[in-house]
């Protein structure tokens, strides 16, 4: 079965070119399995340590942007999966607040997230190192739990053959050995210049991209990285097997 894995839209911080390109890819590639691997939303206004400008951002606009994209991304899929990322679970933390207003808001937002998954017939996965793992045959998909230049190596050691988002970067690492294991960071669909990372040189590794592939009855798979090169995306729409 064909699959597509994309990650890190960040709601109202989506890059319109990348978001439109991945939806165009879906139209041509027609994957039965659709995986959004986390951070569909940003929810900057409720993050711990949010700046005054971040607290002024509309969470309604952010939520609507993520929900609208999800409706297009999952439409037509026969096996849909929504992994929650570290930004998506901010409402979960908010509902633990001792402040009743914030607690009730968090509860409402958590229900809205669940409703979005339900409307798109998508299974939802917690942001959890054990429970937040989707398995497509011999390939695992997680949002991501490591950052930095060694993140691919760390994910490969923990999860084996794995695809992840989180870092916004495109990375590949193979573990040495008779049974090689490969981790792939697949990039992001969000702006490459978000305010919170304005002074971080790590953002210079960020890149727009996603993954497409095919799974087989024995659990094996084929996978290809789609990435932006000079603002253009190229990807296969047909596979040949030799």
Domains annotated on the chain, with CATH: 2-233 (3.60.21.10)
Q: Which of 60, 75, 82 is nearest to 11 (CA)?
A: 60
Q: Please report the pLDDT score of residue 56 as a whole number.
A: 80
The pLDDT of residue 26 is above 80: yes
pLDDT digits (tens, 9 = 90+) for 63-121: 999 999 999 999 999 999 999 999 999 999 888 888 898 899 899 999 999 999 999 99
Q: Give 111-147 as a 3 state SS string.
A: HHHHHHHHHCCEEEECCCCCCCCEEECCEEEECCCCC
User: What is the Cα–Cα distance from 171 to 218, expressed in whole angstroms?
Assistant: 26
Question: Torsions phi, psi of 143, nearest 5?
Answer: -70, -45
Tell me the mean pLDDT in the region 157-173.
97
Please report the sign of the dihedral spanned by the C-alpha atoms of residue 74, residue 77, residue 80, residue 86.
negative
Secondary structure class of 202 (helix, strand, coil): helix
Mean of all residue pLDDT scores within the chain: 94
pLDDT more than 70, % of the chain: 100
Q: Please report the pLDDT score of residue 47 as a whole number.
A: 81
pLDDT more than 90, % of the chain: 79
Q: Please report the pLDDT score of residue 81 as a whole number.
A: 98
Question: Torsions phi, psi of 220, nearest 5?
Answer: -75, 170
118-142 exposure pattern, b = at least 16 Cβ within 10 A, e = fewer = eebebebbebeeeebbbebeebbbb
- Residue, of 228 and 235, whose pLDDT is higher: 228
19 in Cβ contact with 210 (< 8 Å):
no
Question: Torsions phi, psi of 53, nearest 5?
Answer: -65, -40
User: What is the Cα–Cα distance from 3 to 194, expressed in whole angstroms?
Assistant: 29
Q: Please report the pLDDT score of residue 59 as a whole number.
A: 86
Q: Please report the pLDDT score of residue 55 as a whole number.
A: 80
The pLDDT of residue 33 is above 90: yes
The pTM assigned to this predicted structure is 0.95
- Residue, of 225 and 196, whose pLDDT is higher: 225
The pLDDT of residue 132 is above 80: yes
75 in Cβ contact with 43 (< 8 Å):
no
pLDDT digits (tens, 9 = 90+) for 36-79: 999 999 998 888 777 778 888 888 999 999 999 999 999 999 99
């Amino acid at each position: 079965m064909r699959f597509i894995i994309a990650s890190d839209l960040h709601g109202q911080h989506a890059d319109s070119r990348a978001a439109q390109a991945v939806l165009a890819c879906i139209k041509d590639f027609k994957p039965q399995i659709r995986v959004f691997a986390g951070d569909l939303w940003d929810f900057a206004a409720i993050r711990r340590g949010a700046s005054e400008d971040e607290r002024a951002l509309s969470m309604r606009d952010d939520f609507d942007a993520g929900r609208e994209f999800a409706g297009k991304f999952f439409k037509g899929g026969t096996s849909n999966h929504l992994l929650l990322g570290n930004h998506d679970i901010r409402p979960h933390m908010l509902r633990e607040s001792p402040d009743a207003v914030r607690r009730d808001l968090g509860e409402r937002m958590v229900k809205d997230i669940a409703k979005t998954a339900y409307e798109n017939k998508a299974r939802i996965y917690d942001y959890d190192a054990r429970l937040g793992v989707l398995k497509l045959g011999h390939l695992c998909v997680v949002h991501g739990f490591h950052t930095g230049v060694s993140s691919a190596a760390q994910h490969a050691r923990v999860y084996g053959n794995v695809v992840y988002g989180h870092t916004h970067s495109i990375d590949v690492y193979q573990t040495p050995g008779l049974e090689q294991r490969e981790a792939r960071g697949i990039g992001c669909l969000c702006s490459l210049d978000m305010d919170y990372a304005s002074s971080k040189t790590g953002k210079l590794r960020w890149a727009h991209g996603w993954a497409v592939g095919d799974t087989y009855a024995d659990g094996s798979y084929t996978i290809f990285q789609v990435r932006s090169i000079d603002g253009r995306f190229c990807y296969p729409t047909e596979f040949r097997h030799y």
